[in-house]
Amino acid sequence: MGIINLIIALAICISVHEAAHAWTADRLGDPTAKMAGRVSLNPMRHLDPLGTIMIFIAHFGWGKPVPFNYHNLKHPRRDSALIAIAGPISNLLTAFVIALALKYIPNLPSFVSGALSATFSLSIILFLFNLLPIAPLDGSKLIGLVIPHSKEAWYQQFLMKGPLVLILMIVADRLIEGVTHFSFLGTFLRYGYEFVTVGILLAT
């Protein structure tokens, strides 16, 4: 994946992902993100400078978090999960649309097909990575659907400690990979990528 194609893929994938969060929040009754201009496919509204740089340095990064007001939602637990899952689902849909374009639009210029292929790959990786049930990743909000309300304090602590746990997990995985040449995260993403890609190709 060339550097130009990677930049294009990042701009598209992160913008689609974050805009999906913002649009879904607005549809569920919270206009916070919409008022902040986040229901937009303009990459400048979503790219976090440090998070973008870290992608090139550490192969791990992030976009600007989409703000939303928990108290504006009619069903906070359920709606928070829907807002969260909208991001990964938008990446999966992006990959599906790109697969259709690559299959059915003939004679695409090489730079266009290269950028689309890079966006396809990154879309699937973001879809998989964000499903991990660790805050601040989107999968952590899905856990709220099954946690009883009596465990609300525990759940909030789980969300607060998530970023530190995620960083420690990635560091530990890198250290293990350096010693054993095996990466748990890399294995999950590799096999997950193959599985999702086959599913998309069969569907198109």
Catalytic positions, written as ranges: 18
**CA–CA distance, 93 with 95 (Å, rounded to integer):** 5
Q: Is 60 helix (H, G, I), strand (E, B) or coil?
A: coil
Q: Using H for helix, E for strand and C for coil, what is the string for 109-166?
A: CHHHHHHHHHHHHHHHHHHHHCCCCCCCCCHHHHHCCCCCHHHHHHHHHHHHHHHHHH
Do 70 and 59 form a contact (C-beta atoms < 8 A)?
Answer: no
Do 123 and 93 form a contact (C-beta atoms < 8 A)?
Answer: no
First-residue to last-residue Cα distance in the chain:
23
Token output for 29: 């009754």
Torsional sign, CA 147, 65, 193, 190: negative
Helix axes 76-104, 110-129, angle to 10 degrees: 150
